[in-house]
Chain A
Amino acid sequence: MSGGVIVMLFVALAALAPALAPYAPLRGQLSERLQEPSAAHWFGTDELGRDVLSRVLYGARISLQIQVAAVGLALVLGTALGVVAGYIGRWPDMLIMRVVDIMMAFPGIFLALAIIAALGTGLGNVILASAIFLVPQFARVVRGSVLTLKEKEFVEAARALGEDDVTIVMRYLLPNSLAPIIVQTSLRMATVLLTASGLSFLGLGVQPPSPEWGAMLSNARAYMITAPHVATMPGLAIMLVVLGFNLLGDGLRDALDPRLRE
């Protein structure tokens, strides 16, 4: 489960960034701009003389914040919607599923873009846009799980014992749906990172001088010919973290999927 290792490394680096970063991420020495990677600056410096390594480390904190907040929000909202749709059925189900279908019909990044257009840029709005972007996925997964479990005998037994709906959902349906929810959580953390850094790349997400990885890549475009190292490091960071979450999600799915246990 190398994905887990990568994720833990990412979280550790993000949490310890202030201790580990050799330089302040926002303060630049203009006399040292665009230096190649060297002993003093392991990843080199960017166009304003800021140490790239420190910016990458602090960027990890920002990315982690965005991911946790967005996925957490989407998890709560999506699970609530999925439970309502799956358990109650009939017109709430239809209504919620139509809305989910509409949201999933937007190609790629457009839904998040549209939300940013309505709300404006900045960290909070990126989190909100990413969360809304993820809600359909969670809602679908939870609804599927609830639909399957609703028909099982232990639910019937609980009803016969007089348990009310809320208890049934909280005590029986949700705990048994944990496996797909956990898998989705890990995979969606990866999606959020890609979406948020994509938005920042377009200039619509976290604003400079915040060291968000997508924004760093966008700034680096102008200096590709003279200083390519400024572009490679943040992108590599994004790729590795996304890879870590994807590996983790895949590993969890293989481990938790009852069909593959033969």
Chain B
Amino acid sequence: MSVSCPGALLGSLVGISLPIFWLGLLAVLIFSVKLRWLPAGGSGTFAHLILPALVLGAASSAVIARTTRASMLEVLRQDYVRTARAKGVSDRLVVYRHALGNAMIPILTVFGLEFGYNLGGAVLTETVFSLPGVGRLIVEGIFARDYPVVQGALLVVATTFVLVNLLTDIAYAFFDPRIRYD
């Protein structure tokens, strides 16, 4: 856990500092140009999706890692964690069963937000990998003053975002039994 591992802490800090288009370029450099494992751009096969997915995931995971760390720090200071440790519960169980579940709420919030962000805001990654995505569609629509395209695309993105938030809210109830929707 990044709470106690300074390497993970630095890693996640570096992660949020990375310009995502640079990470994409580096990934293309290493995996497509040097190693020739994966295609550098375009769409069509599953292999085309791996690099962009990894790049987007890396950027988001850094944010989530930082939130997790902050949240876990809060939770691990609580008295019930002290009780569990005093009872002799192993560190692993304390972290996974007692602390993590209670720390999940802010983590879930950030997860939902990051999902929404990546839905519409992945313009830079799409540009690097030449993927004809929604982000680029919206940007090109804005510049071509093609308002129906922008409206339609934003509507789709917003609807999906609302659905994701709905799922996040339902997940809250799963993690925190005090939250019940009537």
**Could you tell me which A residues sit within 8 Å of B by CB distance?**
107-110, 113-114, 117, 190, 194, 197-198, 201-202, 214, 217, 220-221, 224-225, 228, 231-232, 235-236, 238-239, 242-243, 246-247, 250
Contact = CB atoms under 8 A, between A and B. Distances in A.
Nearest to B119: A107
| Range, interface on chain B | 20 to 34
A236 B28 CA distance: 16
Contacts of B121: 107-110
B26 interface: yes
Interface stretch (B11-19, B45-53, B99-107): B11-19
A242 B25 contact: no
Contacts of B116: 107
How would you classify the secondary structure of chain B's contact residues: helix, strand, loop or mixed? helix
A239 B22 CA distance: 9
A194 B123 CA distance: 13
B157 interface: yes
A221 B119 CA distance: 24
B52 to A, nearest CB: 15
Given A113-B142, A117-B142, A228-B33, A194 B19 contact: yes
Nearest to B143: A117
Nearest to A247: B13
A44 to B, nearest CB: 15
B172 to A, nearest CB: 20
Contacts of A202: 123-124, 127, 139
Nearest to B139: A113
B43 to A, nearest CB: 18
Contact of B14 (A194, A201, A238, A243): A243
Query: Which of A107, A117, A243, A250 has the largest number of chain B CB atoms within 10 A?
Result: A107
